[in-house]
């Protein structure tokens, strides 16, 4: 079964703190995506990770991919209130060109001033 599991599902953190969101997936893939969703809004692409060891950073967010461990992390550094949103990881398991994505349930992040 193709599964993508995120943890935690809910995260409340204080401004200025660091934290990591984990994304585990069930079978081989080297295509993993992170998205952000604000309440009532659509998904905004954050990172595209396409190879083992890939690391990408944008502002206070850094994403990495370990394909051998089937694990991706989204690290938040010195959180600010504007980062409050739901974060989804999504994996392309297709391997055959359909590129459909399997999504995790999302991590709802609340940054408290």
Instruction: Determine which residue in the list 24, 73, 77, 102 makes contact with another protein, applying CB under 8 A.
Output: 102
Is position 41 an interface residue for another protein (rule: CB under 8 A)? yes
Structure tokens at 31: 């295509």
CB of 37 to another protein, least distance (A): 9
Contact at 8 Å (CB) between 71 and 86? Answer: no
Q: Which of 21, 64, 85, 106 binds another protein (CB under 8 A)?
A: 106
83 φ, ψ (degrees, to nearest 5): -80, -5
Site residues for another protein, 50-89, by CB under 8 A, read: 50, 88
Q: Is the backbone peptide bond immediately before 8 cis, with ω within 30 degrees of 0?
A: yes
User: With binding defined as CB under 8 A, does residue 13 bind another protein?
Assistant: no
């Amino acid at each position: 079964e193709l599964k993508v599991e995120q943890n935690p599902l809910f995260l409340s953190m204080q401004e200025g703190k660091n934290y990591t969101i984990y994304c585990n997936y069930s079978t081989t893939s080297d295509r993993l995506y992170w998205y952000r969703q604000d309440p009532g809004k659509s998904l905004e692409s954050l990172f595209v990770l396409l190879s083992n060891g890939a690391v990408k950073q944008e502002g206070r967010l850094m994403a990495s991919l370990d394909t051998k461990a089937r694990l991706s992390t989204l690290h938040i550094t010195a959180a600010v209130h504007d980062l409050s949103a739901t974060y989804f990881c999504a994996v392309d398991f297709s391997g055959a060109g359909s590129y459909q994505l399997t999504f995790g349930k999302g991590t709802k992040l609340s940054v408290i001033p």
